[in-house]
Structure 1
């Protein structure tokens, strides 16, 4: 089994697409006005409007901007550099500036426009670097 994608359902699709394009530096592929994907080598972040819920059983299946338990994580080459690039344009989104975590990653924690937590991280200790070698 492979994890292929994580999907965010939102009432503000363009705002979320723009946020994730800015944070990741990737260009989203817009398949329809209600659905886009940002593809990385390891997985895809899908963003769907609330209108897509009709295909999954109706509006009550998911609620936008209600997540309180998940962090979307992106490994980046240099988290400090990403922080410096985003510090001005996304200042209000920053939850925690780059900090070295006990497990060896330097992490920058952001909050997207729907309130989802986003962690940009770079492995910095030998153990963390080894863990992600080849990924």
Structure 2
């Protein structure tokens, strides 16, 4: 089994599409007015409007802008450099400036337009680098993901 996708349900898809394009430097493919995807070789971030909930059985199965337990995480080359690039964009969405965590990742935490937590991180200690493995080379905004 492979984990391949996470989907955000939103009442207004376009602000999220623009936001994720802006912070990653990658293009989001919008298939319909109600569904878009940000694809990387390892996983996909899907963005769906509340209107698609009817396809899954009704309005009550998910609620937009109400996430209180999930953090969307992106591994980047240099968290501090990404923070410098994004500081003006993030504004009051910033939750935590780049900080080195006890487990060895340097982390930048902020919220997207729907209030979902987003973490840009870089493994910085030998242990964190070993845990992250050789699976991929992290992206910098404007660059493509690629397998190592």
Q: In which range does the TM-score fall when normalised by the shorter chain?
A: over 0.9
For normalisation by structure 1, the TM-score amounts to 0.97
Q: Secondary structure at the match of 2:45?
A: strand
Q: How far apart are 1:116 and its partner, in Å?
A: 0.7
- What is the root-mean-square deviation in Å for CA atoms of aligned residues? 0.8
Q: How far apart are 1:131 and its partner, in Å?
A: 1.3
Q: How far apart are 1:74 and its partner, in Å?
A: 0.5
Q: How far apart are 1:71 and its partner, in Å?
A: 0.5
CA deviations 1:32-60 (Å, max 9, x no partner) are 11100001121100000011111000111
CA deviations 1:66-101 (Å, max 9, x no partner) are 110111100011111110000012222110000000
Quote the Cα distance in structure 2 between the aligned partners of 1:43 and 1:110.
Answer: 20
Where in structure 1 do 4 or more consecutive aligned residues deviate above 3 Å? Answer: none
Unaligned runs of 5+ residues in structure 1 are none
Unaligned runs of 5+ residues in structure 2 are 136-148
Matched residue, 2:25:
25
CA deviations 1:1-56 (Å, max 9, x no partner) are 11010000000100011111111111101111110000112110000001111100
Q: Secondary structure at the match of 2:36?
A: strand
Quote the Cα distance in structure 1 between the aligned partners of 2:40 and 2:110.
Answer: 19
For normalisation by structure 2, the TM-score amounts to 0.89
